[in-house]
Copies of this chain bind each other. A is one copy, B any other.
Amino acid sequence: MALLQLAISTRGQGLYEFTEAARDFLRDSGAPEGVMTVFVRHTSCSLLIQENADPSVQVDLMAFFRRLVPPTTDPSMNYISHRDEGPDDMPAHIKAALLPVSLSIPHAGGRLLLGTWQGLYLFEHRDRPHRREVVLHV
**Chain A residues near B (Cβ < 8 Å):** 1, 3, 33-35, 37, 39-43, 48-51, 54, 56-57, 59-61, 63-64, 67-69, 79-82, 84, 90, 93-94, 96-106, 108, 113-115, 117-118, 133, 135, 137
**Mind listing 13 A-B residue pairs with CB under 8 Å?**
A3-B106, A37-B106, A39-B105, A41-B113, A43-B118, A50-B93, A60-B90, A60-B93, A61-B97, A63-B80, A67-B79, A68-B68, A115-B133
Contact of A113 among B42, B117, B135 (CB under 8 A): B135
- Given A79-B63, A104-B102, A106-B137, residue A33 in contact with residue B69 (CB < 8 A): no
B33 touches A1 (CB 8 A): yes
Report how many copies the assembly holds: 3
A96 touches B60 (CB 8 A): no
